[in-house]
Structure 1
Amino acid sequence: MRLTRLIYTTLFFITAGILNTRAQDPKTTEKKQEEKAVTEEIEVVRPYKPVLAEAVKLRRSPDLNDVKTYKAKFNYNLTDRKLELNSDINKLQAQQLAAQKEAELINNYVKGALGSAGTVLAEAYVNIGRDEALQAGAFFKHFGQSGSLNKQNANQQQLSIFGRSIGDQVTMTGKLNFQRQGLYFYGVDNARPTFNTDPARQALSFIEAEGEIVNKFTEDPDALSYAAKLNGYVWSDQYKAKESSIVLNAYLNKRISSLNLGLAGSVEFGKTKDVLTSFGNNLLKLNPYIRLQTNGVKINAGINFVQEFGAFSSSRIFPAVTADFTLIPDYLQIFGEVKGDVNRNSLKLLTDENPFLNSNINIKNSIEKLSISGGIKGTGGPGFGYKAKFYHKQIEDMPLFVNNFTDFNKFDVIYDFGTMKLSGLEGEISVQISDALKWTGKLNIEDYKPAAETQSWFKPTMRVSSDFMYAVTKQITFNAAVAMQGDSKAKIYTAAPANPYFTPDLANETVITVKGFIDLGIGASYKINNKFSAFAKANNLFNKKYSKYLYYEAIGMNIFGGISYSF
Structure 2
Amino acid sequence: MKSIKYIYSLLFFAAAGLTTAQAQEKKAEEKAVVSEEIEVVRPYKPILAEAVKLRRSPNLDDVKTYKAKLNYSVTDKKLELNSDIQKLQAQQLAEEKASILVNNYVKGAFGSLSTLLGEAYFNTGKDEGLQLGGYFKHFSQEGKINKQNSSQQQLSIFGRSILEENTVSGRLNFERNGTYFYGLDNANPTLNPNPEKQALTLLELEGELVKNFTEDEDALSYAVKANAYLWNDRFDAKESYLSLNGYLNKRISSFNLGLAASTEFGSTKDALTSVGNNLLRLNPYIRLQVKGAKVTAGINFVQEFGAFSSSRIFPAVTADFTLVPDYLQVFGEVKGDVNRNSMKGLTDENPWLNSNILIKNTVEKLSISAGIKGTGGPGFGYKARFYMKQFDDLPLFINNFDNFNKFDVIYDFGKTKLTGLEGEISIQVIDALKWTGKLNIDDWKPAQETYSWFKPGLKVSSNFVYTYNKKLSFNAAVVMQDDVKAKVNVQQPVNPLQYLVPNTSIERIETVKGFVDLGIGADYRINNKFSIFAKANNLLNSKYNHFLYYQVNGLNVFGGLTYSF
Q: Which category describes the TM-score, using the shorter chain as reference length?
A: 0.7 to 0.9
Kindly provide the amino acid, as one letter, of the partner of residue 160 in structure 1: S
Structure 1 residue corresponding to 2:111, chosen from 115, 119, 132: 115
Shift of 1:294: 0.3
Kindly provide the amino acid, as one letter, of the partner of residue 342 in structure 2: S
Give the match for residue 564 of structure 2. 566
| Cα distance in 2 between the residues matched to 1:460 and 1:145 | 27
Shift of 1:221: 2.5
**Correspondence 1:455-534 to 2 at 5 A:** 455-499=451-495, 500-534=498-532
Matched, 1:232 2:190: no
Shift of 1:438: 1.1
Matched, 1:399 2:387: no
Shift of 1:130: 2.1
| Cα distance in 1 between the residues matched to 2:430 and 2:71 | 61
**Correspondence 1:159-558 to 2 at 5 A:** 159-499=155-495, 500-558=498-556
| Cα distance in 1 between the residues matched to 2:332 and 2:517 | 33
Shift of 1:436: 1.2
Shift of 1:257: 1.3
Matched, 1:129 2:125: yes
Shift of 1:169: 0.6
| Cα distance in 2 between the residues matched to 1:528 and 1:218 | 44
| Cα distance in 2 between the residues matched to 1:375 and 1:283 | 31
Kindly provide the amino acid, as one letter, of the partner of residue 556 in structure 2: N
Structure 1 residue runs of 5 or longer lacking an equivalent are 1-81, 90-94
Runs of 4+ aligned residues of structure 1 deviating over 6 Å after TM superposition are 86-89, 95-100
Question: Once the two structures are superposed, what CA deviation does each residue of 1:250-290 show, in whole Å capped at 9, x if it has no partner?
Answer: 00000011100000000000000000000000000000000
Question: Structure 1 length normalisation: TM-score?
Answer: 0.83
Shift of 1:532: 0.5
| Cα distance in 1 between the residues matched to 2:190 and 2:326 | 61
Shift of 1:435: 2.9
- Structure 1 residues 267-276 or 427-436, which shifts more? 427-436
- Structure 1 residues 408-417 or 491-500, which shifts more? 491-500
Task: Provide closer, same or farther for how the CA distance between residues 130 and 496 of structure 1 changes in structure 2, counting only shifts above 3 A.
Answer: same
Shift of 1:87: 6.9
| SS of 1:370 mapped into structure 2 | strand
Shift of 1:103: 2.2
Kindly provide the amino acid, as one letter, of the partner of residue 515 in structure 2: F
Q: Percent identity?
A: 68
| Cα distance in 2 between the residues matched to 1:102 and 1:253 | 38
Shift of 1:97: 9.7
| SS of 2:348 mapped into structure 1 | helix
| SS of 1:349 mapped into structure 2 | helix
| Cα distance in 1 between the residues matched to 2:506 and 2:228 | 42
Question: Once the two structures are superposed, what CA deviation does each residue of 1:137-196 show, in whole Å capped at 9, x if it has no partner?
Answer: 111100001110000000100011111111221111111110000000000001111101
| Cα distance in 1 between the residues matched to 2:348 and 2:358 | 16
Structure 2 residue corresponding to 1:152, chosen from 140, 145, 148: 148
Task: Provide closer, same or farther for how the CA distance between residues 85 and 155 of structure 1 changes in structure 2, counting only shifts above 3 A.
Answer: farther
| Cα distance in 1 between the residues matched to 2:404 and 2:553 | 20
Kindly provide the amino acid, as one letter, of the partner of residue 501 in structure 1: Y
Task: Provide closer, same or farther for how the CA distance between residues 240 and 256 of structure 1 changes in structure 2, counting only shifts above 3 A.
Answer: same
| Cα distance in 2 between the residues matched to 1:528 and 1:407 | 52
| Cα distance in 2 between the residues matched to 1:96 and 1:423 | 58
Kindly provide the amino acid, as one letter, of the partner of residue 522 in structure 1: I
Kindly provide the amino acid, as one letter, of the partner of residue 380 in structure 2: F
Shift of 1:101: 4.5
Question: Once the two structures are superposed, what CA deviation does each residue of 1:112-145 show, in whole Å capped at 9, x if it has no partner?
Answer: 0000011000001111012122112111100001
| Cα distance in 1 between the residues matched to 2:148 and 2:199 | 14
| Cα distance in 1 between the residues matched to 2:507 and 2:98 | 69
Task: Provide closer, same or farther for how the CA distance between residues 130 and 187 of structure 1 changes in structure 2, counting only shifts above 3 A.
Answer: same
| Cα distance in 2 between the residues matched to 1:107 and 1:165 | 17
Task: Provide closer, same or farther for how the CA distance between residues 219 and 544 of structure 1 changes in structure 2, counting only shifts above 3 A.
Answer: same
Give the match for residue 63 of structure 2. none
| Cα distance in 1 between the residues matched to 2:250 and 2:410 | 44
Structure 1 residue corresponding to 2:136, chosen from 136, 140, 149: 140
| SS of 1:474 mapped into structure 2 | coil
Give the match for residue 3 of structure 1. none
Shift of 1:219: 2.1
| SS of 1:544 mapped into structure 2 | coil
Kindly provide the amino acid, as one letter, of the partner of residue 192 in structure 2: N
| Cα distance in 1 between the residues matched to 2:273 and 2:306 | 14
